[in-house]
Structure 1
Amino acid sequence: MATQNTSAGAEFSNILIEHTTDIVSSYLANNSLGANEVSSLIKSVYASLESLGVPEDEPRPVPAVPIRSSVRREFIVCLEDGKKMKMLKRHLMTEHGLTPDEYRGRWELPSDYPMVPPDYAAKRRDLAKKIGLGRKSGQKRGQRKKTENGD
C-alpha cells in the first residue's frame, strides 16, 4: 500500500507501526533471533499487517424514497423504510433507534427538516392558539400586552 498524504493514511500508518512493534516485541520476548533476522521480521510483520488494508467506510445508505419527495402536505415519508407518517419522531426512536438529529445526520438533511407534515403542524398550531397555549396567565384571548407609550 502506498503511503498516503492524508491524515487518515498517516493515522493508519501509525497504527501499523504500533501493532508491528507490539507483535515483534512479543515474539522476541519468547524467541531469540540474530540482529539481521530482526529487521526482516519487522518488515515481514509490517507487510502482513499492511496487506490487510484499511477498513472500508460503510456504504452510503440509499433512502426508501427520494429526499425531495419525502415531505408532503399531509404526511412525511420515513427515508429509512418508506412508511408514511404524521409524526416521524416517535417512529424513528421505536422502529430505528434514531433521534431526529441522528436521522438528519444520517441522511445529511438540514437542521430545520420537519418531523411532522406542514398541514399537521398548522392544525396543531391553530388548536394550541384556540385553547390559549402560549399566553401568560391573566391575559385574555385577543388582547395584546400594552406597551409603555400606549401603542
Structure 2
Amino acid sequence: MTKTLVEMTAEIIQSQISTREMSTDEIKVALNETFQTLKGLQEAEISGQDAGDDENKPVMDPRKSIQRNKIVCLECGQEFKMLSPKHLKSHGLTSKEYRKKYGFSARQPLCAKSLSERRSKSGKERGLPENLRKAIAARTKKKK
C-alpha cells in the first residue's frame, strides 16, 4: 500500500520530534514546509522535471534566519548560536560572501541576537566604547 503525502509528512515530523524538542509553532511550520516539499517533489516526479531547479534559493527568508536564540544557515538549514567561518567554508563561502549573497549589511553579526546582546553588554562593562573613543582621539592627534 502506498503512503499518502500526509502520512509521510507525519512520519518525518514524528522522527524530528523524537530527536529534538520542538514548540507547537515549530511543529506546525515543519509540517507545512515538509508537506509542501513532498508535494513539490511529487509534482516534479509526475511531470518529469528536475527537482533541483531551485538550488540557489535560500531555505528560508533571510530576514527571519537571525532569531533570538539561534541563526539558521540559509545554505543548508542547520541551526546554530553562531555561523562559524568553518561551517561557511563547507559551503564554499566566507562570512563576507555569505552576507553579500543574502543581503546582510557588512556589520551584521552572524549569530543569535541573544549572543550578540550578551557580547555587547560584556564589552560595555569592560569599558570598550570609552577605550575605543580614546584610541581614536589619540590616533587623530598623532596625524595632525
- TM-score band by shorter chain is 0.3 to 0.5
Q: What is the TM-score of this pair, normalised by structure 1?
A: 0.42
Mark the structure with the bigger radius of gyration: 1
The structure with more helix, counted as a fraction of residues: 2
